[in-house]
Structure 1
Amino acid sequence: MPRADLGAVDLYYEVHGEGQPLILIMGLGGNADWWGDGFVRRLAAKRQVIAFDNRGAARTALRGDEHFTLAEMAGDVVGLMRHLDIAVADVFGVSMGGMIAQEVALNHPGHVRKLILGCTTCGGKEQTPPTAEAASMLVEQAGAAQGQMQNHLRLLFPDAFIAANLPLLENSFRALMRHPMPRDNYLRQLHAIKTWPGTYSRLPSITHETLVLHGTDDILIPVENGRTLHRRLPNSTLCEYSGAGHGFTLQAASDVLRDVESFLDA
């Protein structure tokens, strides 16, 4: 398995396709598999796509048991770029990955060509919090065991979508659990999110072309967060997916791929 020794972490990564690099940054508890094979194949048809397991996730080995920050996780992204001899890349982060992507753009702006922020938030007191039910389920997800499948699906998708696609979603969940995340590391990632100061005051300094993507029925990171990002980012475009939840990249995959490819190719 390809790995990058970044000191604090031994980072697992995958490279697909050729051309302009696009780095994918997954969210809390997820890993490179969570983007979905079909989603990655479609993107990699026209560009080089790099996906990886975040610090503490799945196949990435975390050295030590200390807490870490989202800014340090952004440093991992840049460290991976150096390992792969990539000077500049497009960066696409979802959920926690979108928070990390913001830190990459703010702290390492010269390494970013275009920025894509999916179902994410600026953090801090300016963010719109999750529903109480979603916040409770998020903590209960620690470890993401098979018995928590129902919570996992309800965090990502509206009830009607789950009911109409339950066998497919159950099979997908089992596939994603091939490389589970240790409970302690899940809690470390969650701690990194909770202690993140946020970017609200810094967002206007991100001048990269930015595409903000959000499902209108997201209960974990409500859509108003995407609208806040769009208002604060001076060179941004907002795409909303009606009726889609936090897992909008699966629920509205065709529309998302169309919008992402159009943005990157422009």
Structure 2
Amino acid sequence: MDKLQGESFIWFPGWGGNSYGLLPIVEKLSFGLHYLVDPKSTDLESLTIETWVSEIFKKLPSNRKWNVMGISMGGLLAQEFTKQFPSHVKSLHLLCTNTGGKNNPYALNPETLKRWFSQSDDISDPLDRILRVCFTQDSIDSEVYQNYLSYLRKDPSPVVPKISRAQHRAVLEYSSRSFLSSIDAPTFIYIGEKDEVVPLDASLELLSSIKGSHLFKIDGGHFFFLEKSEVFENHLIKSFEL
């Protein structure tokens, strides 16, 4: 564990997420130096995954190698970061993600999209409606879920709809398939076995496309890293031993 204290991690958030939402995930880890990425808020009309990543890199220390962490949409940013700046990547960690929305049969679960954006849903609070799909049914009434929901409601700078829409467009236009086979950084793929947002087949595609990659399955939903934070941390520690 001591050798991990000096490891540098960069975290890319999921769709509509920011550093505020990432903080409770990182705070559960007992090691590492963590840089949390916020969404781009300017020039949204021309936002792409590629340009977003290149702008993020300009803000980082130039001499550091990163353990790159990507959650859901952030996994696309993490893959693109590894493509553009391979000499700055120590390892790649892809959580509940896929290869992008372009011509992808393993993109988001269409039933989940209906639940997220349904106006007739019993859940009137849009934040609650979106978040509860990311947890297993057994966790909805848990302290973990309720505390995280309450925490997000206090976000002083929540991601506004125009940013979320721009991110969604960028995801639909992106695909990492053409370069996955060229990734040579140690790669670790994490999936919640009960994920209702991103299909398991999406992780299996990443596993088969990135040579030497490893897959960790965790008994949880899309946000398994909160539901089973200790299990996730143990897998993350194990990744440094493989």
* Counterpart for residue 53 of structure 1: 38
From 152, 155, 158, the equivalent of 2:130 is 152
**Which residues in structure 2 correspond to 1:97-112 (within 5 Å)?**
97-112=74-89
SS in 1 for 2:70: strand
Does structure 1 residue 79 correspond to structure 2 residue 58?
Answer: yes
Aligned length: 232
With over 3 angstroms needed to count, the CA separation of the structure-2 counterparts of 1:168 and 1:91, relative to structure 1, is: closer
With over 3 angstroms needed to count, the CA separation of the structure-2 counterparts of 1:180 and 1:110, relative to structure 1, is: same
With over 3 angstroms needed to count, the CA separation of the structure-2 counterparts of 1:34 and 1:65, relative to structure 1, is: closer
Q: How far has the Cα of 1:126 moved from its partner?
A: 4.2
8 Å CA contact 1:77, 1:104 repeated in 2: no
With over 3 angstroms needed to count, the CA separation of the structure-2 counterparts of 1:46 and 1:217, relative to structure 1, is: closer
Q: How far has the Cα of 1:202 moved from its partner?
A: 1.6
Greater than 6 Å deviation, 4+ residue runs: none
From 107, 110, 121, the equivalent of 2:98 is 121
SS in 2 for 1:125: coil
**132-141 vs 113-122, which deviates more?**
132-141
**Which residues in structure 2 correspond to 1:228-243 (within 5 Å)?**
228-242=205-219
CA distance in 2, matches of 1:227, 1:199: 14
Q: Give a deviation string over 1:118-170, Cα, whole Å, max 9, x none.
A: 000012334413332212244569xxxx821331233201222214x1x5423
From 40, 43, 53, the equivalent of 2:26 is 40
With over 3 angstroms needed to count, the CA separation of the structure-2 counterparts of 1:18 and 1:73, relative to structure 1, is: farther
* Counterpart for residue 201 of structure 2: 224
From 140, 145, 148, the equivalent of 1:172 is 148
TM-score by length of 2: 0.86
* Counterpart for residue 191 of structure 1: 169
CA distance in 2, matches of 1:149, 1:126: 27
Gap regions ≥5 residues in structure 1: 1-16, 56-61
CA distance in 1, matches of 2:145, 2:15: 19
TM-score by length of 1: 0.79
8 Å CA contact 1:67, 1:191 repeated in 2: no
Q: Give a deviation string over 1:63-101, Cα, whole Å, max 9, x none.
A: 3442300111221331222xx344321101110100100
8 Å CA contact 2:180, 2:209 repeated in 1: yes
CA distance in 2, matches of 1:18, 1:131: 37
Task: Please identify which structure carries the higher strand content.
Answer: 1
Q: How far has the Cα of 1:27 moved from its partner?
A: 0.7
CA distance in 2, matches of 1:85, 1:212: 26
From 245, 256, 264, the equivalent of 2:221 is 245
Q: Give a deviation string over 1:25-61, Cα, whole Å, max 9, x none.
A: 1110011122243x42343x43211112121xxxxxx
SS in 1 for 2:178: coil
For the aligned residue pairs, the C-alpha RMSD in angstroms reads: 2.3
8 Å CA contact 1:115, 1:208 repeated in 2: yes
